[in-house]
Amino acid sequence: MRGELDAELVLSQSLPGGRATLEGVLPGLAEEALARSLGKGVVGRMGPWNLEGDRLTLTLTAENGRAHQALLALTRRLKVELGRTAKVGVRTVRALRYRLTFDVPKAPTAPVSLPIPHQLRFGDGQATLELEGLDEEALRDNWSDRAVTLVEDKVLRQHYQGKEQYWKLLSQSPARNLTVTEDPTEAMLRRNWLRNGPTKGKWFLGPLPAHLLRTMERIAIDEVLRPLGFEEVVQPHHDSFDILLKTGHLEGVPGEFYYVAEPKSRDPAVWERFTDLVKITRKVPEAELANLVSGPVAVSCYAQCPTTYWWLSGRTIAQEMLPLKVFDRAAISNRYESGGRHGLERVDEFHRIEPVYLGTPEQLLELREQLLARYAHVFNDILELEWRTAWVTPFYMQQSGAIGVEDETQRIKGTIDFEAYLPYRGTREASEWLEFQNLSIVGDKYPKAFTIKTQKGELWSGCTGIGLERWLIAFLAQRGLDPTAWPAGFRKYAGELPREIRFL
Amino acid sequence: MRGELDAELVLSQSLPGGRATLEGVLPGLAEEALARSLGKGVVGRMGPWNLEGDRLTLTLTAENGRAHQALLALTRRLKVELGRTAKVGVRTVRALRYRLTFDVPKAPTAPVSLPIPHQLRFGDGQATLELEGLDEEALRDNWSDRAVTLVEDKVLRQHYQGKEQYWKLLSQSPARNLTVTEDPTEAMLRRNWLRNGPTKGKWFLGPLPAHLLRTMERIAIDEVLRPLGFEEVVQPHHDSFDILLKTGHLEGVPGEFYYVAEPKSRDPAVWERFTDLVKITRKVPEAELANLVSGPVAVSCYAQCPTTYWWLSGRTIAQEMLPLKVFDRAAISNRYESGGRHGLERVDEFHRIEPVYLGTPEQLLELREQLLARYAHVFNDILELEWRTAWVTPFYMQQSGAIGVEDETQRIKGTIDFEAYLPYRGTREASEWLEFQNLSIVGDKYPKAFTIKTQKGELWSGCTGIGLERWLIAFLAQRGLDPTAWPAGFRKYAGELPREIRFL
């Protein structure tokens, strides 16, 4: 990457002596700043410069993307120098234009947009991005780096658009003799076990499915989590924007959140007109309400692990506590699913146990084997499911080469999906199986993002979300609603079932 | 109450024959409509009327508040009559002015506002409310009735403002020898058991308090709910506006909700500018976000019972299922507490088991005694608390005379609060005890609001919210954080405690 930066510094007043005052010092200061900022062996230089009144303009070029850092370093030095010799300060510094030229392995197939002022050209395996008008904060905050990454990422995505997610079979249970072919949600609705909730994609579970959901929860805790030493935590249900900025969720899935807004005031007098309108009209005065409530300030839990990492943020965990193993089942997961809802398995609200673990890479590899063994025990011996596991990797991880997908046995980081066959969807071969569970080792991404440390060595993390509705649907789709047809191991856990509520 | 209504009907065209066409029929139709609408023995009459082109104006008076119903009935009759005889329709009907005069037991002490066009005068123990410009929907929807109730209620509230809630001691445990005086939240914070959450008034409970909270949950379920035959349900966490309109919460506590808003679209292309800005600036582009998200469409659960009633709405419960006893512990309670937060006991998010019961008044009375006995067992024998119960009644229930507060033994409907002494707040006598539990029989309010029926007889309902954080704080404030000082009954339930996490 090559960078060329046209900068403008506005001084606190016209410089006494004008250009002559700077001629002796500016080149030296620039050289120093460039040497410090660009790193060893990277060539950079200051081009033509000019002073008119209180405005100093100059050009910096660099063989890498650090010219803006050199500009900030030069500004600091100039402040000291001019303050000392001429009692003149530097009021503002900004990049009028910042041209960055970098390789792009593939040519774009469609226009690439950016939300800040810029020009962008592609040719000869390269892109030239010219950013316009970056102020000091934008320079300090490395917007230029992120803009380049964004361009690279957008071009890459254009090429992968519509391509299948990487999927490679890892294990497969024996086929089972399954006789049920009914959609379990339909069957439960017919019996009044369920009611489609008062808001989109959410269900009210009557006593029978509630009992079965809690049975799945007990199996997960007693057969998987307790034997492996996981401890429960109770985390808040609202996720802050700060957390979601750190994990990348805010840029990744902003269209899938349920947002949270607060009353601007709690004073009943402020709400009087609203409440009076409700009392008289028995309707929601929407315009009135919109004025009394804030914009979005947080989101309803999307996944629990981000807030678990937040809990440990800024802390150093004693070595003896590793691997740290905790789980949350208090926060409810909300996802705005829009059109894709189906039954209890694809919903806007679900109940998930989210186990999170932190430790050395070796500890997490060992834990993964233990978890896989406990899950296999549950799915084979208690639920007696037909299921399989597969390595799955988002395209950008394949592309980045971070994972050696050629040699599966060497895999450390990555995600394993657990999938169950749903007979109501069709044949084993042609139908889509249900992802009802996953298991990930993520590496040091989250400990780094949340500044979680230990006494020595690398700290990695991972999680293995247990979707209780999905466990339930996988089981009922294969085994049906008749308890006498359920495996003995599950019947024992379920115990006595609640009676069905009789409505007339 | 006396009503006088100046109405205007706009016909589909000028009436052929003008006033003469109406003279023979209008008085008779009005008489008929008044007789039908006002009820037996209530005097009403039509005053002067006029027809100009397509506009018919008339005045109806009634000894009660049903003149608007008479107007609608008259309009229906007129439509039939004019359609048949002159092929003329009635395009619109509205009240230009609707004067309602009614008794007010007390004079207002401050101005009384209404959110719809009106004039309001008080004098001689009466109020005259003149509503202006009510359209057909407002007439049909009985806005006038609700406006009168609102005026009465506002005057009443002016007189009760600042008065204490009714409170009458019902039972009291023996004083206990309590040596702990520390605020348990402070003590837990010092040990890193808790972390103040990423959004306002919400806590992250580490393994130790999470274990204790779940212990309280198990005690409540195993010692109170299971022995009395309560079955668990799992309800959605978002409450719809429709539900809150029915229960009255939307007019009662709109400033205490956390509101839920949805993405306007789930399409990543719609969000591209937003996500690009996040990627480059690492900040939330708030203006951009506000445009991409809907206004408030629902609220985060405030209390669970409304949605439980919704679950049964429109249904007829078989007699043999009564009393129907269910509880939810899935939905998390969110309340915007604004300034009043303190520790784990006064928070914006808490975990509550909400048992709800429906049955005949006799069944609910019996159940209340059973619940009181089970609670007493838990608080006396397992948690060994110093606690008391009291009848509490909101002022408007006292005023309405619905409850015979003079004869406590005869009480059926109403709420019992359970309060625990918190030593850290001061002496038993001077300090405010913590409400950590309540128990209500509400009567037929909710079955009526949600059209829940049974085969025969009255159907009543009630609920008894169990606040787990409050049970925990009541216990820890009296017993402290040292497990060796805990009562044997609780220690047995708690079992082996998780180890404290050591941070450096």
Q: What is the pLDDT of residues A225-240, one digit of tens each?
A: 999 999 999 999 999 9
Is residue A285 located within the same domain as residue A311? no
User: CB-based contact (8 Å) between B104 and chain A?
Assistant: no
This model of the complex carries an ipTM of: 0.91
Q: What is the per-residue pLDDT for B158?
A: 87
Is residue B79 located within the same domain as residue B140? yes
Residue B143 forms part of a structural domain = yes
- B296·A293 Cβ contact <8 A: yes
Q: What is the per-residue pLDDT for A410?
A: 55
Listed residue (A463, B213, B332) closest to B205, CA to CA = B213
What share of chain B in percent tops pLDDT 70?
96
- A210·B202 Cβ contact <8 A: no
Count the neighbouring beta carbons within 10 Å of the beta carbon of residue A200.
Answer: 20
Is residue A199 located within the same domain as residue A322? yes
Please give the average per-residue pLDDT across A144-152, as a whole number. Answer: 95
Taking CA–CA distances from A317, the nearest residue in chain B reads B503
C-alpha A345/C-alpha A436 separation (Å) is: 9
A87: domain CATH number is: 3.30.70.1920
- A260·B292 Cβ contact <8 A: no
Residues of B in contact with A356 (CB under 8 A): none
Confidence of residue A406 (pLDDT cuts 50, 70, 90): very low
Taking CA–CA distances from A249, the nearest residue in chain B reads B275
Taking CA–CA distances from B298, the nearest residue in chain A reads A199
**B 247-276: CB under 8 A from A:** 250-252, 254-263, 265-268, 270-276
Is residue B248 located within the same domain as residue B266? no
Query: What are the tens digits of pLDDT across the range B218-277?
Result: 999 999 999 999 999 999 999 999 999 999 999 999 999 999 999 999 999 999 999 999
Say if residue A430's pLDDT is above 50. yes
Q: Are B220 and B316 in contact (CB under 8 A)?
A: no
Q: What is the per-residue pLDDT for B162?
A: 67
Q: What is the per-residue pLDDT for B163?
A: 67
Bridge partners (DSSP) of residue A127 are A102, A122
> Which residue in B141, B241, B254 is closest to A271 by CB distance?
B254
Which residues have CB under 8 Å from A60's CB, separation 6+? A3, A4, A5, A7, A30, A34, A44, A45, A46, A47, A67, A70, A71, A74
| Domain interval for residue A317 | 167-260+300-494
Taking CA–CA distances from B256, the nearest residue in chain A reads A266
- B233·A204 Cβ contact <8 A: yes
Query: What are the tens digits of pLDDT across the range B143-196?
Result: 999 999 999 999 988 887 766 678 889 999 999 999 999 999 999 999 999 999
Please give the average per-residue pLDDT across B82-99, as a whole number. Answer: 95
- B280·A150 Cβ contact <8 A: yes
> Which residue in B116, B199, B273 is closest to A298 by CB distance?
B199
Please give the average per-residue pLDDT across A370-376, as a whole number. Answer: 98
- B205·A233 Cβ contact <8 A: yes
Listed residue (A69, A16, A71) closest to A46, CA to CA = A71
Is residue A107 located within the same domain as residue A243? no
Pairing relation of β-strands B352-359 and B324-328? Answer: antiparallel
Choosing from A160, A186, A207, the residue where a domain stops is A160
Q: What is the per-residue pLDDT for B401?
A: 41
Is residue B280 located within the same domain as residue B320? no
Count the neighbouring beta carbons within 10 Å of the beta carbon of residue B243.
Answer: 22
**Residue A94 is encoded by which pair of tokens?**
């900004």
User: CB-based contact (8 Å) between A389 and chain B?
Assistant: no
Please give the average per-residue pLDDT across A263-267, as a whole number. Answer: 94
Confidence of residue B406 (pLDDT cuts 50, 70, 90): very low
Residue B203 forms part of a structural domain = yes
Confidence of residue B87 (pLDDT cuts 50, 70, 90): very high
Is residue A43 located within the same domain as residue A124? yes
Say if residue A158's pLDDT is above 90. no
**Residue B184 is encoded by which pair of tokens?**
């348990």
Nearest Cα of chain A lies from the Cα of B449 at a distance, in angstroms, of 13
Is residue B364 located within the same domain as residue B448? yes
Is residue B344 located within the same domain as residue B279? no
Say if residue A405's pLDDT is above 70. no
Say if residue B408's pLDDT is above 60. no
Residue B503 forms part of a structural domain = no
Say if residue A402's pLDDT is above 70. no
Q: Is B411 a catalytic residue?
A: no
Confidence of residue A404 (pLDDT cuts 50, 70, 90): very low
Confidence of residue A403 (pLDDT cuts 50, 70, 90): very low
Q: What is the per-residue pLDDT for B340?
A: 79
Confidence of residue A394 (pLDDT cuts 50, 70, 90): low
Picking from B137, B237, B325 by the largest number of A CB atoms within 10 A of its own CB, the best residue to mutate is B237
Q: What is the per-residue pLDDT for A337?
A: 87
Q: Is B103 a catalytic residue?
A: no
Residue B502 forms part of a structural domain = no
Residue B500 forms part of a structural domain = no
Listed residue (A427, A437, A432) closest to A469, CA to CA = A437
**What are the angstrom distances between the C-alpha of B422 and each of A403, A504, B435, B480, B488?**
56, 48, 10, 11, 21
CA B464 to chain centre: 15
Is residue A328 located within the same domain as residue A418? yes
A324: domain CATH number is: 3.30.930.10
Residues of B in contact with A245 (CB under 8 A): 278, 282-284
Is residue B246 located within the same domain as residue B269? no
For chain A, the domain total comes to 3
Choosing from B248, B277, B295, the residue where a domain stops is B295
Say if residue B399's pLDDT is above 80. no
Is the whole model's pTM more than 0.80, yes or no?
Answer: yes
C-alpha B62/C-alpha B34 separation (Å) is: 8
Q: Are A351 and B234 in contact (CB under 8 A)?
A: yes
Residue A499 forms part of a structural domain = no
- Report CA dihedral (A443, A444, A446, A450) to the nearest 10 degrees: 170
Nearest Cα of chain A lies from the Cα of B472 at a distance, in angstroms, of 14
Query: What are the tens digits of pLDDT across the range B411-460?
Result: 788 899 999 999 999 999 999 999 999 999 999 999 999 999 999 889 99
Q: Are A209 and A469 in contact (CB under 8 A)?
A: no
**What are the angstrom distances between the C-alpha of B57 and each of A501, B11, B41, B48, B176?**
56, 11, 26, 9, 76
In chain B the first and final C-alpha atoms are separated, in Å, by 74
Residue B426 forms part of a structural domain = yes
Q: Is B335 a catalytic residue?
A: yes
Say if residue B337's pLDDT is above 50. yes
Confidence of residue B410 (pLDDT cuts 50, 70, 90): low
Count the neighbouring beta carbons within 10 Å of the beta carbon of residue A442.
Answer: 17
Residue B459 forms part of a structural domain = yes
Residues of B in contact with A195 (CB under 8 A): 311
Q: Is B301 a catalytic residue?
A: no
Confidence of residue B403 (pLDDT cuts 50, 70, 90): very low
Q: Are A232 and B210 in contact (CB under 8 A)?
A: yes
Say if residue B393's pLDDT is above 90. no
C-alpha A434/C-alpha A345 separation (Å) is: 8
- B258·A235 Cβ contact <8 A: no
- Owner of token pair 């361009």: A151
The helix/strand/coil state of B248 is: coil
Please give the average per-residue pLDDT across A408-422, as a whole number. Answer: 84
Q: What is the per-residue pLDDT for A192?
A: 94
Average pLDDT of chain A to the nearest whole number: 93
Query: What are the tens digits of pLDDT across the range A325-353?
Result: 999 999 999 999 877 788 999 999 999 99
User: CB-based contact (8 Å) between B31 and chain A?
Assistant: no
**Residue B436 is encoded by which pair of tokens?**
């950590």
C-alpha A54/C-alpha A18 separation (Å) is: 9
Is residue B141 located within the same domain as residue B180? no
Choosing from B128, B144, B160, the residue where a domain stops is B160
Q: What is the per-residue pLDDT for B400?
A: 45
- B210·A195 Cβ contact <8 A: no
